[in-house]
Amino acid sequence: MTATLIWILVALVAIGLYLSWTAGRLDRLHARIDAARAALDAQLLRRASVTQELATSGVLDPAASIVLYEAAHAARQAEEEQREVAESELSQALRAVFADPQQVEAVREAPGGEEAARELAEAVRRVPMARRFHNDAVGGARRLREHRKVRWFRLAGHAPFPMAFEMDDEPPAALVERVS
């Protein structure tokens, strides 16, 4: 009888440790999501800021400046629910303005244009990486949260279900090719 109780107690302790380890793992994944989202937000803000600086620098023609400025401003001011759409529209505006390699060369030849083009190229290259890191963390947390043990024992607590950040983040080829 005593041996049976000891084995039951050992099994309960082992199950408790396993559930505690799983809850800790899930907590670390949620912390990783938060850090990745902060990095993504920083990269998106940097891209929008650099775009606005370029649009107001006088290096571009007036039509391109207006298109880029409005798209960057909309991306910076977008509410959370509209953020993915606004950021996608900024990507599309950047591709439209810098679709022609001659436009990129014209920017580079202007005073201060080489630095502005390099900074913008770096910013648009970092956004897809930051988004990929964020979405990878979200995918890991989602997979873990789908396990029965996590749902049955409510190991996720009250944390919201993680959502991926889906946007068009393809950089303008003419801008990125020149810098590479």
How confident is the model over 167-172, as a mean pLDDT? 95
pLDDT at 65 over 50: yes
Other Cβ atoms less than 10 A from the Cβ of 143: the count is: 11
What six digits make up the tokens of 95?
A: 């591709």
Full-model pTM: 0.90
Find, among 161, 130, 122, 151, the residue nearest to 29 by Cα: 161
pLDDT digits (tens, 9 = 90+) for 79-108: 999 999 999 999 999 999 999 888 899 889
pLDDT value at residue 180: 46
Distance of CA 94 to the CA centre of its chain: 18
Q: Are 58 and 44 in contact (CB under 8 A)?
A: no
